[in-house]
Amino acid sequence: MKKMIYTVLVIIAFNIGISTVTHASYTPKQIIRARYVIPGAFFGALLGPLGLFVGGVTLDMMYQSSQNKNKNKNKHKHVLMNKSNMMSYAPFNEKKEATIFFKIANHTLTENEKLMLRNIAMLLKKEVTFTVDILGSTDPTGKKNNYNNQSLSKRRADVVADYLITMGVDKNRLSVQGVGAIETSNAEDYPNIRITKLKLMTQ
């Protein structure tokens, strides 16, 4: 019995030595953990001389499995953190953009659009380093590139900026531009280009 215990202890010592030599980055605490050493010693006791190899391999495989599980946990935490950061930009989307819609030939804000702008103002007052590019546009109805479209796109950008300023946002943090008509041959797209687009700049 004593001889068997002595043999097991010797195999454990050899397994620790092999793992230490072949994986110098392991800390003694990681190597000596019972859940890694005991299986190696068990196989070593059963297989005699081959136990030195089998035990070391078993120890290594179980440790690598544990490390992979930890990496997966950290990856999951990183994904959750990214989602949390993304949500902190609301009401901007994942591209850090928000859209204010207008009726045809109109630059008046609806109550729904005002609500979105109030939420944007709250974000900007909380994150004082953020700035916003404000780009007004129109659909291509009427003459191409005519003065009215350019003027209307600028008024749509201005009305958005003015509302944010009344909500306490510093005008120096807002870049305002009217880009005129956005060309498209599909009339169904018109409601989606009678807009003012806000682009959040976080750096």
Q: Which helix (H) or strand (E) holds 86?
A: helix 51-87
Least confident of 16-25, 64-73, 85-94, 107-116: 16-25
More confident residue, 55 or 60: 60
pLDDT of 155 > 80? The answer is yes
Structure confidence at residue 141 (pLDDT):
83
Q: Is the model's pTM score more than 0.75?
A: no
What is the overall mean pLDDT for the chain? 77
64 pLDDT more than 60: yes
pLDDT of residue 175: 97
pLDDT at 83: 47
Quick one: average pLDDT of 153-179? 97
What CATH number was assigned to the domain covering residues 97-201?
3.30.1330.60
Q: Where are the domains of the chain?
A: 2-85, 97-201
pLDDT of residue 183: 87
Alpha carbon of residue 37 to chain centroid: 39
Percent of the chain with pLDDT over 70: 54
Both tokens of 2, joined, read 């004593």
Degrees (nearest 5) of the Cα angle 136, 137, 142? 145
What was the pLDDT predicted at 58?
56
Q: What is the number of other CB atoms lying within 10 angstroms of the CB of residue 103?
A: 10
Q: Which residue has the higher pLDDT, 157 or 78?
A: 157
For residue 116, what pLDDT is reported?
A: 97
- What is the spatial distance between Cα 159 and Cα 174, in angstroms, rounded to a whole number? 12
pLDDT (0 to 100) of residue 78: 45
Of 57-61, 139-143, 144-148, 189-193, the one with minimum mean pLDDT is 57-61
Give yes or no for residue 2 having a pLDDT over 80: no
State which amino acid sits at residue 202.
T
Q: Give mean pLDDT, residues 52-77.
A: 58
User: Residue 11: is its pLDDT beyond 60?
Assistant: yes
Q: Does position 14 have pLDDT exceeding 90, yes or no?
A: no
